[in-house]
Chain A
Amino acid sequence: MTDVIKFFTRRQGKKRASLTDWISYGFLFLGFLIIFLPVLWLVMNSIKSQFLLQKYDTNFLPMDYERVARATTYGPDGKDILIMKDLEPWVMFWKNLDDEERAEKDVVSYIKNFTGNEYYALRSHFGLVSVFAKDLIADQNLPEWLIKYPSMFPSAKKDYDPQSIVDSLNDEDARLLSEYLGLKPYKGNGFTAQILISMPDPETGELIEYSVSRINPTKDTVNARLVSDPKGGITKLPQNEIIINKNLKPSWINYTDPLTNKALGSFDAVRCLNNSVFVTIVATIITLLINSMAAFALSKYRFNGQIVFFVIILATLMVPASVLIVGIFKMVTMTGLSGSLWGVIIPGAATPTGVFMLRQYMLTIPDELLEAARMDAASEWTIYWRIIFPLALPAIAVLGILSIIWRWNDLILPMIAVSTTKAAYTIQLCLLDFNGEYLAREHYALAMTVVSLIPTTLVFVFLQKYITTGIASTGMK
């Protein structure tokens, strides 16, 4: 710790900080911020709830709003607007769930906890109207055409008279069928999540709760609706007087759900991470073995075409990886590795950078050691494994670290090799997969992005000495 303080308070000779010191530290701090802020932003956003992310919340901390649902129902009494508090998040975001996720919830028994307009609002929110209506039609032996009626053209609808059937039913069933058929005065019910705010009453000072759909910080007022009297219409509240009920509420489920496999849907973060770990470790081991053997041959043996081989290997450094995509794809497909993790591991196993780096290092190992080993009756394999490999360990460690970083962060090879097989997705592919679907799951995506940064960060923190050596000696990172 004292070392750290000593390091950060170093000065240019004199006892008092000079202008140079201020400028240097200022510059370093600025550089630090430029690099670090985006990462910090990512981390902070990764613990924001899905709701906040969808509202493009710009707070630094995960300050969650208190949320309410605003529902609109239409009935015999006309339009009713109601505010429902204390609903569970999955109810609020039912529309964002996919079929599998919906199937896990027992909504039919859930809505039995509600009555009146709240019941009707939730019933249509969960899409249960058509389900119940079809049951009703079947139970009561009502005419079959009723089922098709909602999707008929208006001209066709004229041939039928649903109203008479509705009238023959009791009130509840009549309402259900009317909602299903879209008969007046029943219209589709509305249901949205809103933000709960409050403002002190100008006279009594008592806190009055309002519900707003969004808070735009650039405007002076917010359009709010009284929670106690939602039908009373919209009032404009001065932005500076309202109290936004925000709680610091990190959304840890962003992390725990995917990692405990509770994340709704097909996304399996644990499997993706396992795949990535497997690919990274196996590919790195293979890379180190193959590259060090190639480097051994190129640095310590004399054979015909040695220079040609070396030049060809170096020449592949000049070919951009993106040019090879089609070639690698064909290779992977034709060898039957497509969809298998080996299709990710094998094509990248030999890297020209690695061969070059190790060769240059091995050139510095004296030939006399090899000759001594030959005099000691060592086979060529023994020389490689017991002499060259241990002596080249510093360079091999550098390559190992680089390989871990490359493999962990690699997106192109997995896309080429396993994009058709979800079971073989690596973490980077999984993260990409979030954006491709209809469903917004940024909260999981952000959280898993942070998780995917951990291994490379650890590698950087603990092995940065080797990494700087590696960058210095190869110019690559």
Chain B
Amino acid sequence: MANLKLIDIKKSYGKTEVIHGLDLEVLDGEFCVLVGPSGCGKSTLLRMIAGLEAITEGSILINDEKVNDVSAAKRGLAMVFQSYALYPHMTVRQNLAFGLENLKLDKDDIEQRINKAANQLRMEDYLKRRPGQLSGGQRQRVAIGRAIVREPSIYLFDEPLSNLDAELRVATRVELKALHARLGNTMIYVTHDQVEAMTMADKIVVMHDGIIEQTGSPLDLYNRPANLFVAGFIGSPKMNFLDSSSLPEDIKKLAPKGAKTFGIRPEHLKIQDQNSLPLDVKTVEQLGSDSYLYGATIDNQEISIKLNTQTSIKGGESIKVGFDKDNTHWFDEKGVSL
């Protein structure tokens, strides 16, 4: 059980600064997801927390103790790697035992912990096999099991689901969430997939270009994005952005002062005349439960709509789409939410 505090963390490789002074607090027992596009520094941040990467400036506090100079081995954290990083020459049991042996635990204790983890993750059947003989999902379990047996204060996950197929990913996502509920430990989870972030997190940290764009609960971020980046990043398909000067007069009236960009989520657009924009439909995607329409509106600006039903609209038609004024987002010149 532990909390984590990052104070003004900076990281440079040579002269290139990749993390520009981050502050973050993860509370005890929280499931915190670091999300952002690739190259935003989220993995680097996680590795700095783990102790695998030195920090250039700032301090990391675990349970209010500064651990900047404590080695990865002694921070008492456990990490699940994207590639799982299972030791290929060891059996699953040896993989689980390796960390415990290094901690000089006695044999009975090791045995007990392995059995407990194997039981929890339902991997008793393949304890004697090597990673090469396991499927992707089984390896994933072993990687998580290796973290669990350590009984760490904080779990770190580095895109652990990205190597799984879609179905397994959803299943494992649910399992991880359940695991968190059962263990109650602090977990920090890195992903580029905003669906994972939305579904699992207690707290989402959206990162972009080495800074934190916004921190908050999943719905906070969805409903009240702090800026253009977060608004565009959270939600799928992404939010439609239109230049507010190009809007029809009746919509312009809704704009707060200083608004430069108008944003509306595809799922909040409906086929209606009120508060409406013209749309020349180019492509229609039918998913059965939902339909996506892609097209162009005023000044040829691209726009997409998500309908919760099947539709008879075809490409080439011109229709009118409208929205509820409660669902609008406005951003100023700097992209900050108004």
Report B86 CB to chain A, min CB distance, Å.
8
Q: Does B300 contact A (CB under 8 A)?
A: no
Q: Would B73 and A372 count as touching, CB distance under 8 A? A: no
Give the chain A neighbours of B99 by CB distance below 8 A: 375-378
Tell me whether A371 and B52 are in contact in the complex, defined as CB-CB below 8 angstroms, given that A387-B87, A390-B89 are known contacts: yes
Cα A91 to Cα B76 with chains together (Å): 84
Q: Does B85 contact A (CB under 8 A)?
A: yes
Within 8 A of A (CB), among B80-109: 81-83, 85-89, 98-99, 102-103
Q: Does A475 contact B (CB under 8 A)?
A: no
* Residue interface bits A370-383, CB-to-B below 8 A is 1, else 0: 01111111110010
Give the chain A neighbours of B73 by CB distance below 8 A: 374-379
Q: Would B85 and A391 count as touching, CB distance under 8 A? A: no
Cα A382 to Cα B102 with chains together (Å): 8
Give the chain A neighbours of B102 by CB distance below 8 A: 376-379, 382
Within 8 A of A (CB), among B195-238: none
Report A101 CB to chain B, min CB distance, Å.
57
Interface size class of A (residues with CB under 8 A): 10 to 19
Tell me whether A372 and B88 are in contact in the complex, defined as CB-CB below 8 angstroms, given that A378-B73, A379-B102, A382-B102 are known contacts: no
Report B159 CB to chain A, min CB distance, Å.
12
Q: Does B55 contact A (CB under 8 A)?
A: no
Give the chain B neighbours of A382 by CB distance below 8 A: 102
Cα A368 to Cα B81 with chains together (Å): 8
Q: Would A386 and B98 count as touching, CB distance under 8 A? A: yes
Cα A377 to Cα B151 with chains together (Å): 13
Give the chain B neighbours of A369 by CB distance below 8 A: 85, 87
Q: Would A368 and B83 count as touching, CB distance under 8 A? A: yes
Q: Does B50 contact A (CB under 8 A)?
A: yes
Report B27 CB to chain A, min CB distance, Å.
23
Q: Does A232 contact B (CB under 8 A)?
A: no
Least CB separation from B147: chain A residue: A375
Q: Does A78 contact B (CB under 8 A)?
A: no
Q: Does A366 contact B (CB under 8 A)?
A: yes
Cα A32 to Cα B99 with chains together (Å): 54
Q: Would A374 and B89 count as touching, CB distance under 8 A? A: no
Q: Does B78 contact A (CB under 8 A)?
A: yes
Which A residues are within 8 Å of any B CB, using their own CB? Answer: 366, 368-369, 371-379, 382, 386-387, 390-391
Which B residues are within 8 Å of any A CB, using their own CB? Answer: 47, 50-52, 71-74, 77-79, 81-83, 85-89, 98-99, 102-103, 146, 150
7 pairs from A and B in contact (CB 8 Å cutoff): A372-B85, A372-B87, A375-B52, A376-B102, A377-B99, A379-B102, A382-B102
Starting from the known contacts A375-B78, A376-B73, 6 additional A-B residue pairs (CB-CB under 8 Å) come to A371-B50, A371-B81, A371-B85, A376-B98, A378-B102, A386-B98
